[in-house]
Amino acid sequence: MALRTGPLRTGLLGYGMAGRVFHAPLITATPGLALSAVVTRAHRDEVRAAHPSAAVVDHVEELFGLELDLLVVASPNRTHVPLALAAIEAGIPVVVDKPLAATSADARRVLKAAEYRGVPLTVFQNRRWDSDFLTVRSLLADGALGRVTRFESRFERWVPEVPDGWRERPEPDEAGGVWYDLGAHLVDQALQLFGPVRTVYAELDERRPGALVDDDAFVALTHVDGVRSHLWASATAAHRGPRLRVLGSRAAYVSEGVDGQEGALAAGLPFEGLSTPGALGVGGDVVPVPGVPGAYSAFYRLLVAALTTGGPMPVDPESAVPVLEVIEAASQSARTGQVVAV
């Protein structure tokens, strides 16, 4: 692969929530990147207002006709695999929003194509740069928690009515529901902190009237090293539990709030350096932990370095496969009511 020289001309496929809230602002804020073109029909005026220097095109084929150095796939899940394969075939480095694919088999197919063509590929797992996640990783490195026995992680929301959108459709290739949407983050974080998983037990439910896909999920992972991760994802939580709770032989860490970077990006506010506070200790004897600053922008900074100086990709695309294997095992467990080996 020939190294690129900046600024890297970047094409964005999709301007829904992922493209509008995350990718476009992060791309424009990253030195060495230029948002050159966006594929969207529904949000043409929004793109022109927010990013007047970017071309707006209706079809993916038009984007491939431009001279671009990087493509970012931020379109619905069902399009991730065909668009990633098209970018790879064109020889253009590609970022794919999570999940890389609807199945681990399709993820492997994309990885194999990228390797065969020698095209850089990475997956946007931005919550590896959440403040609370970075804080837990720091506490683990310092030994402040001792030997961890349980990791609890939640993304819970209150959305009592089923919205209209592709995430609510039941077709398998849509990869809809809260488990694919939020579970892709929850599982990725658990694997990054505590390594491979041995078994999975899951409860995936459709709670809201008219729901066709899961909107409430509880999943228990047993890691190879014995740590148990308990993961919750819900659109029906009238009261949210702690975002993170980590129990160790020396102390526990609890973080109540959700990382503020997404909200700041959505509101067009400064998002760099925001931190999520937590507490560390035993019982009532705790000390406040201010939190490591969150750093979503690190993803694209590391990507620029990878494409221009040959550094590592910000997210190893191989790591997408075990995440999808756990997601699939959870779906199997929920169908059968059995613990599933991974």
Residue-by-residue DSSP string for 294-321: P-THHHHHHHHHHHHH----SS-GGGHH
Of the pLDDT bands very low, low, confident and very high (cuts 50, 70, 90), residue 2 is low
Contact status, residue 183 vs residue 175, Cβ threshold 8 Å: no
Mean pLDDT, residues 19-47 taken together: 96
51-87, pLDDT tens digit by residue?
999 999 999 999 988 999 999 999 999 999 999 999 9
189-241, pLDDT tens digit by residue?
999 999 999 999 999 999 999 999 999 999 999 999 999 999 999 999 999 99
Mean pLDDT, residues 111-137 taken together: 98
Is 295 a residue whose pLDDT tops 60? yes
Mean pLDDT of the chain: 96
Residues 6+ apart with CB under 8 A from 312: 302, 306
Q: What is the pLDDT of residue 6?
A: 63
Q: What is the pLDDT of residue 65?
A: 87
Q: What is the pLDDT of residue 316?
A: 98
The Cα 24–Cα 265 span in angstroms is 10
DSSP 202: E
Of the pLDDT bands very low, low, confident and very high (cuts 50, 70, 90), residue 43 is very high
Q: What is the pLDDT of residue 81?
A: 98
- Kindly give the residue spans of alpha helices, DSSP state H, lying in 90-150: 104-117, 131-142
Q: Which domains does the chain show, CATH number per domain?
A: 8-124 (3.40.50.720), 129-295+325-341 (3.30.360.10)
Q: What is the pTM of this model?
A: 0.96
Q: What is the pLDDT of residue 155?
A: 98
Is 130 a residue whose pLDDT tops 80? yes
Is 36 a residue whose pLDDT tops 60? yes
Q: What percent of the chain has pLDDT over 90?
A: 96
Q: What is the pLDDT of residue 5?
A: 65
- Angle, vertex CA 299, rays to CA 172 and CA 342, nearest 5: 40
Mean pLDDT, residues 244-262 taken together: 97
Q: What is the pLDDT of residue 4?
A: 67
Is 45 a residue whose pLDDT tops 60? yes
Q: What is the pLDDT of residue 171?
A: 96
Is 1 a residue whose pLDDT tops 90? no
Of the pLDDT bands very low, low, confident and very high (cuts 50, 70, 90), residue 185 is very high
The Cα 166–Cα 201 span in angstroms is 27
Q: What is the pLDDT of residue 209?
A: 96
90-101, pLDDT tens digit by residue?
999 999 999 999
Length of the chain: 342
The Cα 26–Cα 30 span in angstroms is 6
